Amino acid sequence: MDTGFPSHDAQYDFTRVRRQRVLSSLRGWMRREASDVNVILPFEEVIEALGRAGERHLGLHEISLDSIVGTVDRSRDFDRAFRPISTRTRPRWERIASALRRGEDMPPISVYRIGDLHFVRDGHHRVSVARALGRASIDAYVTEVLTKVGADSRIRLHDLPVKGHERLFFERVPLPREAREEIELSDPWGYAELAEGVEAWGFRVMQGRGEFMTRQQVAEAWHRDEYRPVVEMIREADLLDSGTATDAYMRMSRERYRLMRTHDWNETVLERLRQQLH
C-alpha cells in the first residue's frame, strides 16, 4: 500500500508487520510447531555454545536480510524475522520507515557474522523496516567471529545445548574439520560418552604400541581405524535403523562390550548383534 504520504504509509507498514507476526504465531500454534521457531537468536548464548575461536573485521558488505537471524541485545523487541514484538518500538520504527519512503539514505548497520549467519549489533529497526518494505539486502559493517563448532540457518534456541556438548566433544577429540561432519548424535549427552570411549580406545592403542599419542593423533587414528570401518560394516550389514550413523556406532559399541570383551570386529560379532537388535 502506497498513498504517497510517507508518514501515513509508515504507520500502515508497522500495523501490517505486527499483524503478520501475530498470524505467524497463530499458524505455529495451530501446526504445533516448536515454541522457539520464531525466537530471535541471542548472540552471546550462541557464542557460548559454539565456542569463540577468534574474530576479524571484514569491513563494509552488502548482506542478505534473510541471513540476519540474531541480535546482540534486542531479543525482547523483535522476533527472528525482525517483526516488532510489541508496540514500544513503534515511534522509532515509523520514523525510519517514513525516511526510507522519502528516499533518504540510512547509515549501514553493524553485524557479527558466524558462518553464513548474521547477528545485529546496531541497526535493529533499520533491518526490521527494510524487511517490511520488501528489500532483499542491506549494507553492513561486518565482524566475522570464528567458532569451534559451526552452525547453519536451521539452528534454533533449543539447538544450543546440543551445540555446546558437540563443542566439548571436539575439544576432547580434535578431529579434522572434514571428519567432524561425520559425527552427529541425536542425544546431546551421548557426546560425553563418545568422548570417553575415544579416549579409552586411544589409551588401549598407546598401551599396544608402547608409545605416547597426542589427542589429535588419537582422534585421527580412532576415526580412520575404528569409526569409519565400523560404520561401513554397519551399513553393509543393514543395521543402521533409525537415527544417525554415529547413533548406530554407539549402539553397536554398547552391545559389543556387553556381549564380549574384545575390540576386534568380525562377522561373528555382527551376526550376534543382528540377532540381539532384531
Whole-model pTM?
Answer: 0.70
Quick check: helix, strand or coil at residue 139?
A: strand
Pair 140, 206 in one domain: no
Domain boundaries, position 14:
6-155
Whether residue 255 contacts residue 196, with contact meaning beta carbons closer than 8 Å, is answered with: no
CA angle 126, 130, 132 (to 5 degrees): 120
Residues 10 and 141 in one domain: yes
Q: pLDDT by residue (tens digit) across 64-83?
A: 999 999 999 877 889 888 99
Among the candidates 155, 184, 207, a domain finishes at 155
Amino acid at 70: G
**pLDDT tens column, 211-222:** 999 999 999 999
Sheet holding 52-64, edge to edge: 41-42, 68-71, 117-122, 109-114, 137-147, 52-64
Both 249 and 184 in one domain: the answer is yes
Q: Alpha-carbon distance 19 to 181, whole Å?
A: 40
Report the domain count for the chain.
2
Place of cell 561425520: 182
68 and 188 together in one domain: no
One domain, residues 218 and 90:
no
- Same domain for 249 and 129, yes or no, is no
Whether residues 222 and 90 fall in one domain? no
Claim to verify: residue 25 and residue 139 sit in the same structural domain: yes
Q: Which of 90, 125, 155 is where one domain is finished? A: 155
Burial 14-49 (b: 16+ CB within 10 A, else e): beebbeebeebbeeeeeeeeeeebbbbbbbebbbeb
The cell for 55 is 574474530
Predicted confidence (pLDDT) at residue 263 exceeds the cutoff of 60: no
Residues 6 or more apart in contact with residue 271 via CB below 8 angstroms:
none
CATH number of the CATH domain containing 101? 3.90.1530.10
Residue 164 within a domain: no
Q: pLDDT for 98-149, tens place per residue?
A: 999 999 999 999 999 999 999 999 999 999 999 999 999 999 999 999 998 8
